[in-house]
C-alpha cells in the first residue's frame, strides 16, 4: 500500500477550500482542514513531524503566522495561493519580498488551483533541496538574534529525511533526498563561512562526545544532526577525523593537567566509528544507481 502524504489546508476562502478538498480526496493524500487561524499554529506544532505540506491562502494574517511557525521551530513545505493582480502605477517600482517564510516556499495563483497535485510535489522537492544555512527569511534571523537558528536547522534536516523516506515508499524514488546543492559544499564556501561551519561542527561533536555514554540523553538525534550537516556540506571523512582528534587531544591535555589517566579516551573510538558509519552510509546512498533514471524534478518542473 502506498504511503499517503499528509496535507494541512488553511484558507478563509470557503470556495477554494471546497475545490481543493475535492482534488485532494483520493488515496494519495490525507487532508487536514483548519478553518480557524488560531487553531493552525497549535495544530502544526503538535503534528510537526507528520504534516508533509502546508497550503495557505495569501492574506494579511499570513506573515504573522509564518513568524509564529518560525518561533516555534516548525519548518515544512509551504504553498501560498495568491490572487493575480494587475500592476498599479504605485507598485511598479516596489520590489516584493523574496519570500515570506523560507526560500523553498511556492507561490501559486488561486485561479490555477486545479494544478495543486503538481504544486505539492514541487513544494516538497524544493524543500528537500533546501540548504541547511539558507532557508530563513533574513528579517526573522536578525530580529530574533539567531536564537533559534541552530535548532531550526536541525529540525529542517530531520524533516527532510522523514519526507524523503515517505517519498521513497510512495514513489519508489531513492535519490531525491540526496540531491545536494554544491553551492553549500564546504569547498565552495568563503573562508569566513568555512570557519563558521567547522566551528559549528566542533561544538556539535563536543556535545556528542560528552553525552555519548549518557543513557539519559538522546545522543542519536545529535549524531543525526551532525551527520546531516556534514553530508550537505560535503565534509570529507578526513575532516571529521581531524575534528575528533583535535577534541581528543584537548581532553588528553586536560587529563594530564589533572593527573588522571588517558585510558578513558580510548572508549571514544566508538564515537568516531559510529559517526563515520552513519556518514559513510549517507555518501554511499547518494551515489546514483544505474536503474534510477527517473528524476522527480523533470517530472514536476
Residue 299 CA to residue 301 CA, distance in Å, equals 6
Instruction: Say if residue 293's pLDDT is above 50.
Output: no
DSSP letters, 136-151, are S-HHHHHHTTTTTHHH
Which position has the grid cell 589533572?
258
User: pTM for this structure?
Assistant: 0.52
Q: For residue 40, how many C-alpha atoms fall within 13 Å in the half-sphere facing its CB?
A: 24
Each residue's pLDDT tens digit, 94-117: 444 567 777 778 888 888 888 888
CATH code of domain 183-285: 1.10.1240.30
SS (H, E, C) 45-111: HHCCCCCCEEEEECCCCHHHHHHHHHHCCCCCCEEEEECCCCCCHHHCCCCCCCCCCCCCCEEEEHH
Confidence (pLDDT) at 294: 39
Each residue's pLDDT tens digit, 183-217: 888 999 999 989 989 998 999 999 999 988 887 77
pLDDT band at 136 (very low <50, low <70, confident <90, very high): very low
Each residue's pLDDT tens digit, 66-76: 888 877 777 78
**Cell reading at 262:** 588517558
Burial (0-12, 13-18, 19+ Cβ within 10 Å), 88: exposed
Helical pair 237-257 and 269-285, crossing angle rounded to 10 deg:
170
Confidence (pLDDT) at 116: 87
Question: If we measure between CA atoms, which residue out of 240, 228, 241, 243 comes closest to residue 281?
Answer: 228
Give the Cβ contact number of residue 290 at 10 Å.
5
Q: How does the average pLDDT of the chain come out, rounded?
A: 76
Residue 98 CA to residue 90 CA, distance in Å, equals 19
The residues spanned by each domain of the chain are: 5-164, 183-285
Q: Which CATH class is domain 5-164?
A: alpha beta
Question: If we measure between CA atoms, which residue out of 95, 85, 16, 9 comes closest to residue 44?
Answer: 9
More confident: 58 or 173: 58
Q: How many helices (H) and strands (E) does the chain have?
A: 11, 5
pLDDT band at 263 (very low <50, low <70, confident <90, very high): confident
Each residue's pLDDT tens digit, 137-170: 444 444 444 445 555 556 666 667 767 666 655 5
Confidence (pLDDT) at 155: 60
Instruction: Give the whole-number percent of the chain exceeding pLDDT 70.
Output: 71
Confidence (pLDDT) at 3: 65
**Cell reading at 38:** 488560531
Confidence (pLDDT) at 111: 86
Which position has the grid cell 559513510?
280
Instruction: Return all residues near 108 (Cβ < 8 A) that are at least 6 apart.
Output: 79, 80, 81, 82, 115, 119
Amino acid at each position: 500500500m502506498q504511503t499517503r502524504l499528509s496535507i494541512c489546508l488553511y484558507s478563509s476562502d470557503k470556495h477554494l477550500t471546497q475545490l481543493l478538498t475535492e482534488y485532494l480526496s483520493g488515496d494519495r493524500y490525507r487532508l487536514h482542514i483548519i478553518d480557524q487561524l488560531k487553531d493552525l499554529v497549535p495544530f502544526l506544532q503538535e503534528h510537526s513531524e507528520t504534516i508533509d505540506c502546508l497550503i495557505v491562502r495569501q492574506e494579511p494574517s499570513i506573515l504573522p503566522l509564518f513568524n509564529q511557525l518560525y518561533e516555534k521551530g516548525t519548518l515544512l513545505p509551504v504553498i501560498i495561493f495568491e490572487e493575480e493582480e494587475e500592476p498599479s502605477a504605485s507598485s511598479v517600482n516596489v520590489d516584493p519580498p523574496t519570500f515570506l517564510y523560507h526560500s523553498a516556499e511556492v507561490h501559486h495563483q488561486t485561479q490555477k488551483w486545479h494544478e495543486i497535485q503538481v504544486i505539492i510535489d514541487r513544494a516538497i522537492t524544493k524543500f528537500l533541496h533546501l540548504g541547511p544555512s539558507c532557508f530563513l527569511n533574513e528579517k526573522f534571523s536578525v530580529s530574533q538574534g539567531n536564537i533559534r537558528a541552530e535548532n531550526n536547522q536541525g529540525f529542517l534536516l530531520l524533516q527532510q529525511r522523514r519526507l524523503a523516506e515517505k517519498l521513497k515508499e510512495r514513489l519508489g524514488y531513492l535519490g531525491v533526498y540526496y540531491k545536494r546543492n554544491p553551492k553549500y559544499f564546504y569547498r565552495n564556501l568563503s573562508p569566513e563561512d568555512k570557519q563558521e561551519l567547522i566551528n559549528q561542527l566542533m561544538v556539535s561533536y563536543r556535545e556528542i562526545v560528552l553525552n555519548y555514554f549518557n543513557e539519559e540523553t538522546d545522543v542519536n538525534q545529535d549524531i543525526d544532526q551532525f551527520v546531516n550537516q556534514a553530508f550537505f556540506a560535503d565534509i570529507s571523512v578526513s575532516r571529521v577525523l581531524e575534528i575528533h582528534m583535535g577534541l581528543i587531544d584537548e581532553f588528553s591535555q586536560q587529563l594530564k593537567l589533572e593527573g588522571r589517566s588517558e585510558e578513558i579516551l580510548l572508549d571514544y573510538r566508538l564515537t568516531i566509528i559510529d559517526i563515520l558509519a552513519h556518514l559513510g552510509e549517507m555518501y554511499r546512498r547518494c551515489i546514483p544507481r544505474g536503474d534510477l533514471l527517473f528524476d522527480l524534478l523533470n517530472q514536476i518542473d
